[in-house]
Structure formats: C-alpha cells, structure tokens
Amino acid sequence: MTTAIQNWVEEIAALTQPDKIRWINGSEQDEMNQLLVTHGTFTQLNPEKRPNSFLARTNPADVARVEERTFICSEREQDAGPTNNWRAPAEMRTKLNSMFEGSMRGRTMYVIPFAMGPIGSDMTRYGVELTDSAYVVSSMMIMTRVSDKVLDEINNGADWVPAVHSVGVPLAPGEKDVPWPCAPEDVHVVQFPETKEIWSYGSGYGGNSLLGKKAMSLRIGSTMARDEGWLAEHMLLIRITAPTGKQYNVAAAFPSACGKTNLAMLKPSLPGYKVETIGDDITWIAPSKSGKLKAINPEFGLFGVAPGTGPDTNQHALDSMKENAVFTNVAMTDDGDVWWEGLGEAPDHLTDWLGQDWTPESETPAAHPNSRFCVPMSQAPTVSPDWESKEGFELDAILFGGRRATNVPLVTESRDWNHGVFMGATIASEQTAAAEGPVGQLRRDPFAMLPFCGYNMADYWNHWLELGGKLSNPPKIFQVNWFRKDENGKIMWPGFSENTRVIDWIISRLENEAKGEATPIGRIPATNELNIEGLGLDQPTMDKIMAVDSDSWLAEADMIESFFDGFGLALPKEMTRQLHWLRSQLELQKNNLVSS
C-alpha cells in the first residue's frame, strides 16, 4: 500500500484512538453480518423465506440524511453558494479534531478501500473510508466495490478520496455497547472540496455514514467533475429496447421517493419494450469521443426506499431482495420476514421498526417512511448484462422529474440544451420523508441535487451550459411529472408500468416520428400522439394532465425569479434569458386566449 494511505491511517488512529485497526479487502461480508447479529444490530431473517438477509433497527433519532448538519467547507464562502451550509475550513477542522479525539476508543477502526465505478475504468474514482461501524462495513461491501485492487490502482498513481466516519460513541473499558450507537445531537457530515476530504460524525444511517454514496459520488464528485470536465449526477441510468429492436440509453433525475427506483426497474406495459437497469441512483457522465455524453453507474448496489415498493409498483425491486439483503427500519413479521406499507395487506401482528408490537389498528406506521433495502445490483432481475462496462453508455435522453400536483404536464421536451438546463434548474417537488423538513411542502430541487451539489449551484448550472456547448450531439432533455392531480386531489395518470407510454412518446421524438405541440414551456404530445389505449382516460382528463395554464405559469415564473434572486451575481445570464423568454411566451399565449 502507499505510504500516503498508511501515514493517513496512522494519523487518524492517533486522533480517534481505536482499540485496533482492521484492513478490509471485500471478503468479510459473512463475518461482518454475523458480528452484527451477535452485537444485536442485525436480526437474521427467516433463512427459508429470505436467505442470508438481515434487519437493522436504528436509533429513532438516526433515520434520515441530516441536511442542516451537512457542510461544504470550501475556502471561499461564495464557492459553496446559498444552497449549502458553509463553515470556514480552519474553524471546522478545529471542531472536527475536538469531536473525533478519542471517538473510536473501545472500538475497531475498519479501513475500507473502495471504488466508485468498475475498477480500471477511466471514469472510476477511488476512496478509502475509515469507520468504527461494522454496519457501514457490511453496507459498503454491498454498495461499492471493496477490494485490495483499489489499493493497487492507488499504488499505480490513481487519486483517492480520504473519508473518515465515526458513530461518535467511545466506550470506556468494560462498558456495554448498544445495538445502534450514534450521537444524533452532534451529527456533522463535512466535505472539504479543495482537498477532497470527507468527515462524518455521529450518525450510522445510510447517506450520512456510507461515504461512497452521496458524500463522494455527488458532493465531492461534483467538484471533481467541475474541475475535470464531467458531471456527477443524482440520476438513474437505464437502457430501453424499443419494439423496433433499437436501444436507447436514458438518465433521469428525480428527488427521493418520487418514482426513481420504479423507473429504474420499469416493467413495460406496452408489448415489445424492454427496460434494463444500469443504475438506480447515481450516474457519472462525461463527454465521449463522438461528441455525445457517456455514462456509468459508480455504485455496486441498490439502496432504495422500502415503503411504497410492492407487487403493483415494482415487482422487479421485490425480486431483487429475495436474498442477500439488508433491511433497515422496516417491520418484521411473526415468521421472521419483512413488511412495510405498500407491500400488501398488513398481517394481524407485526413487530414495528421500533421493536414494538403493531397491529392494523395501530396509529403509527409499521415501517419508518424512509426505511430502506440494500442489495447487490447484480441481483436486480432487470440488470443489464453489461452494466459494469468500463467504456460507459452513450446517452440519448435525459429526464428531469418531480412530484407536482399542479402546473407541470405529464411530459415536456426542451427546445434545446440550454432550455433543458433551465428545466433542470427549476425543478420543484413536494418534499418526502427521505430528508428532514415538512412532508408535502414544495421546494425547488434543481437537478434533484439540492442536498448534494458540492459547490455553488449557480456555478453548477453554468458548468452544464458550458459542457453542453462543447457537444456536437447532446442528448435531448425532457421533463416528466407522474403526479398531477385533479380537482378532487386524485392523481390522474396511472403511473408505474404505464410510464412506458411516456417513454414511447419520448422515443418517437428522438426518432422525429411525433411532431408534438409547442407550448411556452416546451413541446408536449399533440392530441392522440400519446398511446393511452386501454387506460380508460378520456380526452378531457388528458387535457388536464397536459394543460399549460398561462396564469398559473406566470405565477410559477415569479417563484422561479425569486429562487434565482438568491444566487445573486453568480446566476448565469442564460438562466435570466430563459426566464424572460418563458414570460414573453406565456403573455403571448394569454393574450391569444383572451383575444379569442
């Protein structure tokens, strides 16, 4: 191993003072799982129903990403931008040194060398995580490629990201541990962009502690991408085979719990279509030699929200977790299997995510709304046979989507690349349980990257604009919304498998077969272009699903302007130009409607 890594491990060990140090090479999965069972962190599920699978229950105060405790410590505050929490690096380092001093006493410090992407690919980046959590070790071996080969790549000159994690609960000699140690009042998830460092303290939960995931793949990843001329995105990645046999690669950005995993594992409702999963959450994108964009999934596993995942919504996801799965904060059945809301009819009795008795008459959910499943990507029945291609996949289309009850049509095509960037920059979604804050409240979530962009979001938009300007054949950009509601509050579009029909129209636009209808916000399907045969949707309902109302969108434009104002002089002039163009077209549409 490199002297740099060895010296760093010794330096962190001197600070955190673990009882011992254990180097992980990726072969320890079974050992870690049994250790966690012995410790009480894992409950082994019924091996006849769910072979080699486990349930973890967290501390009730450690159940989600903690966005207000996530920091981007760039040298200059303006480089973090208004959407990130910033602290001066020197000030934060002093605080972290105090917090981490002795934080691993009584525990083992595990050294995890990991790859984000196929080892040896020019699109792959490497990291080493130090942690005192066996849960993190087990999960990282599912979610990333943990291997001694990573150390070989680093020895051969590959850059690497140092990541330090502690649950923040040192043990005195003889002190008994708890099943889920954490320090929820002191959680800090800190990124230093210039030195590409990650420090995380106090939480054992997913994105806070699995530092290859959001912290490296997106926050540090996005800054590496800016500096090196590529994109690190919160996107799924799929290959679609049309009835013609032609294949299309599509990336899509959705905020958490907005149908992302369902689209990543889409079970097509139209004959002749096939969807293969390449990635479900994070996509790294770089220019290809042919003037297009090529993409990889840097992850190795699936880490999805369990509630709402059921036989009617995502049978493929259920099939992926039949074995070798780790579930966190779901309910357990009396016969040792798992259950959550959306999985089917509730049994008469369960043990809920808090370890308490639960019946259908209980007033609280059996599974936490942000409970998770974690399984190897290779187990997804829809996984593409070549999903680990080192060359990547050239993109034909990029989709942006959110959960909107009003305003946003089912599908809209951007006029061009810059308009597509404007679409991505102005995405808004009703908030979900995956992040802290009022569920249902509308918030702007540009590119679904609001909690994940590691630098000024306005500079990030500018990076997208500049990169697109260098492409001779960029993918087309679309916005989708499966969640539009009628006057009674009912979602009008059936969604799930039927979203194939939207994909079908998108492909018809890629092939210039459908003409669509121009609107102030982009091109939508013309009447009868979208295949709705057998759905029982009449034309008035489809008109509501596709409606672009001038007054509502002018009000939306005002909200967008207010959002843009928060970025000050950093806002790219192109974003202002796009907003002015939108307003002018809405006024024209409104005047035409009035005059007619």
Residues designated catalytic: 258
Q: How far apart are CA 574 and CA 96, in angstroms?
A: 40
* Residue from 33, 31, 27 nearest 147 by CA: 27
Q: In angstroms, how far is CA 62 from the centroid of its own chain?
A: 19
Q: How far apart are CA 422 and CA 465, in angstroms?
A: 9
Q: How far apart are CA 227 and CA 84, in angstroms?
A: 19
* Residue from 227, 253, 219 nearest 80 by CA: 219
DSSP string for 326-379: EEES-EEETTS-EE-TTSSSPPS-EE-TTS-EE-TT-SS-SS-TT-EEEEEGGG
- Residues whose CB is less than 8 angstroms from the CB of residue 242 and which lie 6 or more positions away in sequence, other chains included: 248, 272, 273, 504, 507
Strand runs (DSSP E) across 218-363, as ranges? 231-233, 235-241, 247-253, 274-279, 283-287, 293-296, 301-305, 326-328, 331-333, 338-339, 350-351, 357-358
Residue 488 contacts residue 377 (beta carbons within 8 Å): no
- The CA-CA-CA angle for residues 559, 496, 54, to 5°, reads 105
Residue 123 contacts residue 114 (beta carbons within 8 Å): no
Task: Read off the DSSP letter of residue 141.
Answer: H
Q: How far apart are CA 285 and CA 321, in angstroms?
A: 28
Dihedral (Cα; 68, 70, 74, 80), 10-degree rounding: -50
Output the six-digit token pair for 352.
């809920």
20-23 vs 108-116, strand pairing mode: parallel
**Position of tokens 């994109």?**
231
Q: How far apart are CA 278 and CA 392, in angstroms?
A: 10
Residue 42 contacts residue 136 (beta carbons within 8 Å): no
* Residue from 51, 61, 58, 86 nearest 71 by CA: 86
Q: How far apart are CA 484 and CA 142, in angstroms?
A: 36
